Amino acid sequence: MTSKHSVRERIEKLVKDLNYHNYRYYILDNPEISDAEYDKMLRELQKLEGENPEFQLPDSPSQRVGAKPLDKFKKHKHKTLMLSLNNAMDDEELLAFDERVKKFLETSKEVGYTAELKFDGLAIELVYENRILTVGSTRGDGETGEDVTPNIKTVKNIPLHLSDKPPAYLEVRGEVVLTKRAFAKLNEEREKGEEPLFANPRNAAAGSVRQLDSKITAKRPLHFFAYGIGETKGELFDSQYELLKKLSRFGIPVNEHCALCKNIDEVQRFFKKIGEKREKLDYEIDGIVVKVNDFRLQDKLGTISRSPRWAIARKFAAQEASTVIEDIIVQVGRTGALTPVAKLKPVHVGGVTVKSATLHNQDEIDRKDIRIGDTVFIRRAGDVIPEVIKIVESKRHKNSRPYKMPKQCPECGAEALKDEEEVVSRCIGLSCPAKLKEGIRHFVSKGGMDIEGIGHKLVEQFVDEGLVKKFSDFYTLTEKDILKLERQGEKSAKNHIEAIEKSKHVSLDRFIYALGIRHVGEHLSKVLAQEFGDIKKLEHVKEDILIKIHEIGPEVAFAVSHFFNEPRNLQEIHNLLHAGVKSIGQKKKTGGRFEGKTFVLTGTLPRLQRGEAKRMIEAEGGHVAGSVSGNTDFVVAGSEPGSKFDKAKELKVPIIDEEDLLRLLKGS
């Protein structure tokens, strides 16, 4: 039996090692062990602590998962006030701050600053005594906050134990933030659970930290960034920049975006640079914080009514504004998706004029009850298309009506369909100009009509030059047409026309696939081909017929029947057939032409791919074998046939070519 003493030693070792690995993972971003190894050690620790609760250490990482819920938070009085910041809303106010600092210090020389991000989260203070995290508290009113220690211990990048040589007593101040992604996910979950939504990541971070049940906090991906200190005993620091570097050495997370600036001009450059990076950051910031770097100068400057004279927040311009929706238009994307867009009375937001905002889809419009004529709040997030946040109900016109998306595609007039599962509606028109390029790329692709040599670039040229407005236009192209395009010579024009000609012979499944019907990929194209055997049989097909087919679900039946009932599509299929496209059916039938017959394929066939020929034979009830034997009825030989050809000759098996095969298939 293990002695109490050795259990205690093992616990101490595990705590020490786990804290070290935590530091490698969260601070250095350079782990030495795998997650699985970490978990194994953590589980061992949890087990030992469970059996010997008296040995649990205050910096034990087992507390990362949360502790028992509290009834209420204890108060925590900060030893020194947690200050707030004055704001500079524009360049002028920032320059005025620099002037004030110089005036107060009675100097005309440049003052050096540290520029940091202004995190939009929740301010907290961490107390480390003899390296160990003992208290985590909120800012509260600056004098007294709430003791949220168990919650703080669940924030994974906050060290429970400091490294290097930290002061014996150290109060670290900083901000807890929630990632934008985690915020979005959290709100999604709350929406499902019909709980009230958090307005922004800051509120969500605050709500997560001020949780009586720390197990809930533990589930939220919170991050901490240190930006300062409160009281310390032991080591002294000379400047803000040096302080940040040292905190980082103690294992305390400090954000990577911070700069030591020689003067206020450099600060302005940093501000601009951060403004450009802002959207890419995974957490919200609302500006930068500018601090006189030298601590002696900070002391001289002092504070005035709870804000330091030595620091200022340079805030970003507001990203929200109110305006009026003058109209709602519908745009059709490359995939045929219809997107409603609000046309706005032009408004300045964050330095640019905004004239439109996306409304996403009908569900979103319904949820926010957005109508033409409404006064709305919009938000602009960097390069992203502005969004309507909410409407101002008090300003709504009496006679306004709910907005409904059109049932027809505004580009081509074909039906716009919405699946039950989906939120967006899509145009199902084959020749819709909005979808053309994407649709044509699919049409000519390998799995479709397989028109060799016609790549993305060429499709672009065909469409832009107006040579191809619908699929069937390919089959009326001439060499002369192609020669009109840039970088096309006589040889390539000839090759393209030949490739187009060759594509006219196509198996039915590839023809169906080429049409680009929603939800109908290569496999379902085969299913449909085998079931119907002829494109004509699909025209006007009803959903209730389709749904009976094995492998076809309601969604597919819905899409397929609508597709083959749209007059514009039927016209285009007709155009293709008229232009000479021959889709060869593979209807599965008993008593087919090749019932009981065995074929062997060898060499390269001029038009059909091997898989295709096989499917055609099988569709007529025939069997395709891999080798020639006495039982073989036909060997189909293409160019450069292999040993099977010789074997066939030897066994006197009839040898036919592709032409013969196609003739046999047609029964002529």
Q: Is 115 in the site for ligand IVH (CB under 6 A)?
A: no
Judged by CB under 6 A, the stretch of 35-43, 115-123, 386-394, 638-646 that binds ligand IVH is 115-123
Total of chain residues touching ligand IVH, rule CB under 6 A: 15
The single-letter DSSP state of residue 584 is E
Q: Is 125 in the site for ligand IVH (CB under 6 A)?
A: no
Q: Is 454 in the site for ligand IVH (CB under 6 A)?
A: no
By beta-carbon proximity to ligand IVH, the closer residue of 104 and 475 is 104
By beta-carbon proximity to ligand IVH, the closer residue of 116 and 415 is 116
Q: Figure out which of the listed residues 14, 45, 85, 416 binds ligand IVH, where binding follows CB under 6 A.
A: 85
The three-class DSSP label of residue 251 is: coil
Q: Is 203 in the site for ligand IVH (CB under 6 A)?
A: no
Q: Is 227 in the site for ligand IVH (CB under 6 A)?
A: yes
Q: Figure out which of the listed residues 133, 204, 311, 584 binds ligand IVH, where binding follows CB under 6 A.
A: 311
Q: Is 297 in the site for ligand IVH (CB under 6 A)?
A: no
* Residue reference for tokens 């929740």: 122
Neighbours of 410 (CB within 10 A): 16
Q: Is 228 in the site for ligand IVH (CB under 6 A)?
A: yes
Q: Which of 144, 102, 107, 137 is nearest to 122 (CA)?
A: 137
Q: How many CA atoms lie within 13 Å of 486's alpha carbon, on the beta-carbon side?
A: 7
Restricting to residues 136-175, which ones interact with ligand IVH according to CB under 6 A?
139, 175
By beta-carbon proximity to ligand IVH, the closer residue of 167 and 228 is 228
By beta-carbon proximity to ligand IVH, the closer residue of 93 and 543 is 93
> Which contacts of 13-18 are long-range, i.e. CB under 8 A and separated by 24 or more positions?
14/41, 14/44, 14/45, 14/48, 15/45, 15/57, 15/59, 15/60, 15/61, 15/161, 16/161, 17/41, 18/42, 18/45, 18/61
By beta-carbon proximity to ligand IVH, the closer residue of 139 and 526 is 139
Q: Figure out which of the listed residues 59, 98, 116, 658 binds ligand IVH, where binding follows CB under 6 A.
A: 116
* Residue reference for tokens 């919009």: 378
Q: Is 294 in the site for ligand IVH (CB under 6 A)?
A: no
Instruction: Tell me the closest approach of the beta carbon of residue 156 to ligand IVH, in angstroms.
Output: 20
Neighbours of 549 (CB within 10 A): 17
Q: Is 308 in the site for ligand IVH (CB under 6 A)?
A: yes
Catalytic residue among 77, 118, 614, 649: 118
Instruction: Tell me the closest approach of the beta carbon of residue 17 to ligand IVH, in angstroms.
Output: 32
Q: Is position 118 annotated as part of the catalytic site?
A: yes
Q: Is 241 in the site for ligand IVH (CB under 6 A)?
A: no
Instruction: Tell me the closest approach of the beta carbon of residue 167 to ligand IVH, in angstroms.
Output: 19
Judged by CB under 6 A, the stretch of 4-12, 80-88, 569-577, 649-657 that binds ligand IVH is 80-88
Judged by CB under 6 A, the stretch of 98-106, 117-125, 331-339, 462-470 that binds ligand IVH is 117-125
Instruction: Tell me the closest approach of the beta carbon of residue 245 to ligand IVH, in angstroms.
Output: 15
- List the 87-88 sheet strands across, edge first: 87-88, 311-315, 285-292, 113-119, 258-261
Between CA 397 and CA 589 the distance in angstroms is 65
Torsion sign (Cα): 290, 294, 296, 300: negative
Between CA 116 and CA 644 the distance in angstroms is 76
Between CA 408 and CA 338 the distance in angstroms is 10
- Whether residue 456 contacts residue 395, with contact meaning beta carbons closer than 8 Å, is answered with no
Contacts of 577 (CB under 8 A, 6+ apart): 535, 583
By beta-carbon proximity to ligand IVH, the closer residue of 121 and 150 is 121
Between CA 312 and CA 86 the distance in angstroms is 5
Judged by CB under 6 A, the stretch of 68-76, 81-89, 154-162, 479-487 that binds ligand IVH is 81-89
Q: Figure out which of the listed residues 289, 427, 605, 648 binds ligand IVH, where binding follows CB under 6 A.
A: 289
Instruction: Give the start-end residues of each E strand in 179-250.
Output: 222-233
Q: Which of 400, 431, 428, 408 is nearest to 576 (CA)?
A: 431
Residue nearest to ligand IVH (CB): 123
Between CA 570 and CA 187 the distance in angstroms is 45
Contact positions vs ligand IVH (CB under 6 A): 83-85, 116-119, 123, 139, 175, 227-228, 289, 308, 311
Catalytic machinery residues: 118
